[in-house]
Amino acid sequence: MDRSTAPKERPTLKTIAFMTGLGITTVSRALKDAPDIGAETKERVRMVARQLGYQPNRAGVRLRTGKTNVIALVLGIDEEILGFSNQMVVGISEVLSGTPYHIVVTPHAHTKDPMLPVRYILETGSADGVIISRTEPDDARVQLLMEQNMPFATHGRTNMRDAHPYHDFDNEAFAFSAVERLVKKGRRRIALLPPPSKLTYYEHTFSGFMRGLRAFDADEVPLHINIDAPLDQIRARVQDLMSGQDAPDGLISSSGSSAIAANAGIEAAGLRVGRDLDLVAKQGTPILKWIRPEIIVAQEDVRQAGRELAKAVIARIDGVEPQLLQSISEPRWD
């Protein structure tokens, strides 16, 4: 084989030791930030490790410590045009970058059995901790993870009796405030484009919506579709509704991508947001006002959610009590 095309050997602790003139044990302890190793030595070892592209061998780490140094993120692969998933991964990675842990994304379609990726992770022992989303009130994944003593955190809450780490967005506050903002613009007939009813945040969203209708003396116009529907179906349903005699003068969307589809349906019916009706939506990426500046927008900081979830699952691995690892973020209105 031509030496120029031969695969490059993976750098090891022995490689770093040779390059620095230090012993392998010293190099290993320097990379682990051991207190008995001097700061200058640590920096020299880290610099060489970076230059060589050194990464610990996970199989070796697992054999020595029983750990994988992996956090598994079970992430939906379904249609998402506004970068929600990317923002979540970035937030998690920002926290993990200062730790021995790495993120491994386990893709999953919401139309498939949600237990499959969790069972796989547990059966293969492929992670030290797990982050899941799309939680249900009585979530079988949460129950299984607790039974197996696997550290985890959820993006979203459950109604389960035993406490577990989570970070959530206050969807009840979002929906209530969305109704309030519409009523202040003179809108009284309001439709909700909600999450699917099986998810916990549907309960929070619908509770805030109904509480807002009562508080501000507005009426619901049923829409009969949710944000998990394909975007073309959302567009068609909104167009049909807006073309009829029972058309609402206000619409609330629980996601940015469904708001884009809803706006397309509104315009296909010959109407315009900000003139004939008002549209309120939450988003994880600040893009909706580029499409239609009149959309009333609440920002959900998905990157911050990723940070909170990463911190929670690492703390749980370290034995922190789950009730201390629960947080909720508030909507930020633009």
**pLDDT tens, 186-226?**
999 999 999 999 999 999 999 999 999 999 999 999 999 99
- What average pLDDT score do residues 127-138 get? 95
pLDDT at 71 over 80: yes
Tokens representing 263? Answer: 């706006």
Taking residues 132-151, what's their average pLDDT? 96
* Ranges 62-76, 106-120, 208-222: which has the least confidence: 62-76
Indicate whether 21 pLDDT > 70: yes
Amino acid residing at 165:
P
Task: Give the model's confidence band at 3: pLDDT under 50 very low, under 70 low, under 90 confident, else very high.
Answer: very low
- DSSP run (H or E) holding 169: strand 166-169
Mean per-residue pLDDT, 131-135: 95
Q: Give me 307's structure tokens.
A: 């940070």
More confidently predicted of 2 and 280:
280
pLDDT in tens, 235-280: 999 999 999 999 999 999 999 999 999 999 999 999 999 999 999 9
Q: What is the mean pLDDT of the chain?
A: 90
Model pLDDT, residue 34:
82
> For the domain 171-299, what is the CATH code?
3.40.50.2300
pLDDT band at 6 (very low <50, low <70, confident <90, very high): very low
- Give the pLDDT confidence of 23-53 residue by residue, as tens digits: 888 888 888 778 888 889 988 988 888 888 7
Say if domain 13-56 classifies as CATH 1.10.260.40.
yes
Domain with CATH 3.40.50.2300 in the chain: 65-164+302-333, 171-299
So what's the pLDDT on residue 56?
Answer: 67
| Size of the chain in residues | 334
Average confidence (pLDDT) over 111-134: 92
Q: What is the pLDDT of residue 54?
A: 78
* Residue 50 token pair: 């970076």
Q: What is the 3-state secondary structure (H, E, C) of 209-245?
A: HHHHHHHHCCEECCCCCCCCCCHHHHHHHHHHHHHCC
Topology of domain 65-164+302-333, per CATH?
Rossmann fold (3.40.50)
pLDDT exceeds 50 at position 5: no
CA neighbours closer than 13 Å in the CB half-sphere of residue 296: 22
CA–CA separation, 147 vs 143, rounded Å? Answer: 6
* pLDDT score, position 49: 85
